[in-house]
Amino acid sequence: DAGVIQSPRHEVTEMGQEVTLRCKPISGHDYLFWYRQTMMRGLELLIYFNNNVPIDDSGMPEDRFSAKMPNASFSTLKIQPSEPRDSAVYFCASSARVQPQHFGDGTRLSIL
Amino acid sequence: DAKTTQPNSMESNEEEPVHLPCNHSTISGTDYIHWYRQLPSQGPEYVIHGLTSNVNNRMASLAIAEDRKSSTLILHRATLRDAAVYYCILRIDNFNKFYFGSGTKLNVKP
């Protein structure tokens, strides 16, 4: 089985640009999660979906961040406009019901 | 946030057992205890989880205290590949929402 697939693996862009991170969950999983990891704050849950519907977005830092899940096999996390403090590793994870979460390899984002 | 407390770091020798402790004194009766680990430059990886009884799988064992206020992840024979950050997490009731703490960084010496 293919695991959770994230793209791109690395992204370097300038402040003010729009950034879109992509995630393909494991087929059959009905939960999808977006996390952010930094040295200062560790691993933080940003938002999660159940059956393509956002359930809890309380971790989204501000309005510059948005996430969508148009269908069961694809989700995006968008930052517009991006700022240097958004630099982090962003992980996507999926799970079937309340079974263990499976994480992707992450997108390392650098905002200059 | 459901709180867990872990040592910042631990060290082990290769091929020796490792006991990674976790305190979760505010746990409630329906909270599951999950363990994940994160190898360098990778996403977190599921290790094991349990509710009340001790659990074993191919990766590790989970020993849960009788009062459930603490648990211990046991790696029976540490290998160099087990060097990672280990996170102890409570899954609150049926909510599929995790709060990752700072974890324990395990160093395995050859």
Q: CB contact, 8 Å: A100 with chain B?
A: yes
Beta pairing, strands B104-109 & B9-13? parallel
How far A21 CA sits from the closest chain B CA (Å)? 15
Residue in chain B closest to A5 (alpha carbons) equals B43
Q: What confidence tier does A1 reach under pLDDT thresholds 50, 70, 90?
A: low
- Look at residues A6, A96, A4 and name the one whose alpha carbon lies nearest to residue A50: A96
- Predicted confidence (pLDDT) at residue A34 exceeds the cutoff of 90: yes
> If you ran DSSP here, which 8-state letter would residue B67 be given?
T
CB contact under 8 A, B46 and A50: no
Closest Cα in chain B, distance from residue A58 (Å): 11
pLDDT (tens digit, 9 = 90+) per residue, A51-93? 999 999 999 988 999 999 999 999 999 999 999 999 999 999 9
* DSSP result, chain A: ----EEE-SEEEE-TT--EEEEEEPPTT--EEEEEEEETTTEEEEEEEEETTEEEE-TT--STTEEEEEEETTEEEEEESS--GGG-EEEEEEEESTTSPPEE---EEEEE-
* Euclidean distance between CA atoms B20 and B75, whole angstroms: 8
Work out the pLDDT band at A102, boundaries 50, 70, 90: very high
Q: Using an 8 Å Cβ cutoff, are B92 and B2 in contact? A: yes
- A33-44: average pLDDT: 94
Q: What pLDDT is stored for residue A97 in this prediction? A: 82
The identity of residue A40, as a single letter, is M
In terms of CA atoms, which chain A residue is nearest residue B96? A98
**Which residues of chain A lie closer than 8 angstroms to B49, CB-CB?**
100
CA distance A79 to A63: 9
Contact A104/A95 with Cβ under 8 angstroms? no
Query: What pLDDT tens digit does each residue of chain B (110 aa) get?
Result: 558 999 999 999 999 999 999 999 988 888 899 999 999 989 999 999 999 989 999 999 999 999 999 999 999 999 999 999 999 998 876 667 788 888 999 999 99
Joined tokens for residue A25: 């969950």
Alpha-carbon distance B101 to B88, whole Å? 8
What confidence category does residue A4 fall into, taking pLDDT thresholds of 50, 70 and 90? very high
- A13-72 residues touching B, CB cutoff 8 A: 31, 35, 42-45, 48, 50, 56
| Distance of alpha carbon B37 from alpha carbon B43, whole angstroms | 9
Least confident of A4-8, A96-100, B43-47, B100-104: A96-100
**Which of B96, B100, B102, B105 is the mutation pick for testing A, counting most A CBs within 10 A?**
B96
